[in-house]
Amino acid sequence: MPNCSPLQKSLAWCMGTPELPGIRKRIYYISKDQIAEWPTYIRDVNNRRMKKAAYRGDFVLVADAKWKYIDILPEKSQLTSEPQGELPSQTQLNKLVVVFPGVSPEASAAACYLNNSDNVFLVEDMKGFFRVVGCMKWLTKTTVSQDNGQGPTGNTSTTINVEAPDEVPSPFYMGIIETELGDVQGEMFDDSDDPAEAPVYDNEVSINGLAYNVAGREISIHGPLTTIIFTGENMQQIKVRTDNSTEDIALMDTDRATATWRGNLPAPATVAVSKRENNTDVLWFILDVTGIAN
């Protein structure tokens, strides 16, 4: 007998909370035949009904494959989702329209490898979350059109239209994106409803290969700062912000037990490290990168 417990939840919004529209200027895509393993949907105890419009885990690519990127005009691009079908077989049709500024030979070649190809696209919203357009169950339809403009005040553009059926509106993806330019990871949120899976962050952190107890402390280290390795259980997200306001997200592994930040930050510098708890970023500790060890 299936467990038909209700999945409904309250949906609150605080007056005055800004909801930023639009998508960011770089999207990623790859052909589905370059995906060796898909992340999994978050389903109920029967593994049938969707509990969240999100994936858990990472896209695992075949050897030497990388996500490609396209830089777009955000103000002319849009991600939408609409229902399709009839009860009890309703699904979502996710649509992506992106505009690339030009009709160069490189832009024109997009039609060669996007048309008639089954692709997956990753789109970053204005809050830093990545959304997936394309799933493993149904084909993704991608078409490319071009406009060479008209007259001296016209515009040239290459427009990519994507239609992808899915069980939910473009699912959130919180895993690692292996790109040609290095690994990328977007914002994360708590995808668990089990209190036993609350995030745990170990206060012993490896900084430049040395172990430090960081709980609520300001720590001085020898520069440059090159590596911070965090461990724990069910960790949500860790951010590293430097005194020049640059903010990086520590790359989280699939089981959320290890997160790593890598860089080359010379002294002098001040670094604030925050951790995500209850979907809120909380200051964890401060690093003072000088030349004096603590």
**Torsion angle, CA of 177/182/186/190, rounded to 10 degrees?**
70
Pair (170, 221) in one structural domain: no
In a domain, 110, yes or no: yes
CA–CA dist 270, 225 (Å, integer): 10
Residue-wise pLDDT for 91-130, tens only, equals 999 999 999 998 999 999 988 989 989 999 999 999 999 9
Pair (63, 201) in one structural domain: no
Pair (127, 98) in one structural domain: yes
Out of 131, 160, 184, a domain closes at 184
Q: List the one residue out of 54, 48, 49 whose CA is nearest residue 8.
A: 49
Pair (243, 178) in one structural domain: no
The confidence score (pLDDT) of residue 194 equals 61
Pair (178, 199) in one structural domain: no
Quick one: tokens of 237? 């997200």
Pair (169, 260) in one structural domain: no
Out of 165, 184, 203, a domain closes at 184
Out of 131, 158, 184, a domain closes at 184
Total number of domains in the chain: 2
Pair (159, 248) in one structural domain: no
Pair (62, 165) in one structural domain: yes
Residue-wise pLDDT for 11-57, tens only, equals 888 898 889 999 999 999 999 999 999 999 888 776 677 778 899 88
CA–CA dist 108, 189 (Å, integer): 38
Residue-wise pLDDT for 56-73, tens only, equals 889 999 999 999 999 999
83 three-class SS: strand
pTM over 0.85, yes/no? no
pLDDT band at 7; cut points 50, 70, 90:
confident
- CATH classification of the domain holding 276: 2.60.40
